[in-house]
């Protein structure tokens, strides 16, 4: 059995290893392990083809659930609006085998909880952006804060490189404590893997 996660752009590369290891480490002894297959899609194609893709994957008896994961910005006002729209485009819950999730407002919000560790890694002194990670948006989104931080350390921020560096299997729960939308996403994975959800 496996879980299929449809996601946009470099999010697939940023989460690929961490999610599989995260689930493997939480699968109860004696339970069959459920794999995670992340499929990278591009912007509007993600939404235009979503119904077809969900129908195709959910028809496979080896697929436990299909999850669509999108950034909120710039297409939606918030995570709830994004999830509602994705559910409509997917044609509903498909018998409970589809879930919509959103990174509010960007995937990079899930990296902000590691700001202190990043400053040490980059050998710079910089205060974290104010507020909760998933509430950072507008003209200075999390990705901009990270690009600036990395620039101060004379490095280039790249999601596909820095995502896996910080969101490792053993750090996902740390980020989820500060990011409710990440926690909801992880709990969908855990639920269908037969593992205990995060409190």
3-class SS of residue 195: coil
For the chain, give me the number of helices (H) and strands (E)? 9, 4
Across the chain, mean pLDDT equals 90
Grade residue 44 by pLDDT with cuts at 50, 70 and 90: low
Query: In the predicted model, what is the mean pLDDT of residues 119-137?
Result: 92
Angle at alpha carbon of residue 87, lines to 86 and 92, rounded to 5°: 150
Residue 79, Cβ neighbours under 10 Å: how many?
A: 21
Residue 144: predicted pLDDT? 92
Q: pLDDT for 4-18, tens place per residue? A: 999 987 888 889 889
Query: In the predicted model, what is the mean pLDDT of residues 162-188?
Result: 95
3-class SS of residue 54: helix
Q: How far apart are CA 72 and CA 13, in angstroms?
A: 19
When comparing pLDDT for 39 and 29, which is higher? Answer: 39
Alpha helices in the chain (DSSP H): 11-26, 43-48, 50-58, 79-90, 115-122, 142-152, 159-166, 172-178, 180-192
Beta bridge partners of 38: 5
Quote the DSSP letter at residue 114.
G
Residue 36: predicted pLDDT? 93
Residue 128: predicted pLDDT? 92
Q: How far apart are CA 81 and CA 31, in angstroms?
A: 35
Please check the confidence at residue 43 and state whether its pLDDT lies above 80. Answer: no
When comparing pLDDT for 20 and 9, which is higher? Answer: 20
Please check the confidence at residue 45 and state whether its pLDDT lies above 60. Answer: no
Cα torsion angle, 176, 180, 181, 184, sign: positive
Question: pTM value?
Answer: 0.92
Residue 131: predicted pLDDT? 82
Cα torsion angle, 106, 107, 108, 110, sign: positive
High-pLDDT (> 90) share of the chain, %: 61
């Amino acid at each position: 059995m496996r879980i299929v996660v449809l996601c946009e752009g470099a999010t697939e590369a940023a989460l690929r290893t961490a999610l599989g290891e995260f689930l493997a480490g939480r699968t109860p002894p004696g339970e069959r392990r459920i794999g995670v297959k992340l499929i990278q899609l591009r912007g509007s194609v993600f939404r235009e083809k979503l119904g077809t893709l969900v129908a195709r994957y959910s028809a496979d008896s080896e697929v436990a659930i299909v999850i669509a994961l999108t950034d909120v910005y710039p297409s939606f006002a918030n995570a709830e609006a994004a999830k509602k729209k994705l559910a409509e485009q997917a044609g509903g819950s498909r018998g409970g085998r589809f879930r919509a999730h959103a990174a509010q407002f960007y995937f990079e919000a899930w990296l902000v909880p590691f700001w202190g560790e990043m400053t040490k890694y980059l050998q710079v002194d910089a205060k974290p952006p104010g507020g909760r990670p998933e509430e950072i948006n507008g003209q200075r989104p999390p990705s901009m804060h990270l690009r600036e931080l990395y620039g101060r350390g004379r490095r280039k921020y790249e999601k596909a490189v820095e995502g896996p560096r910080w969101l490792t299997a053993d750090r996902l729960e740390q980020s989820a404590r500060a990011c409710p939308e990440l926690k909801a996403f992880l709990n969908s994975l855990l639920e269908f893997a037969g593992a205990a959800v995060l409190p």
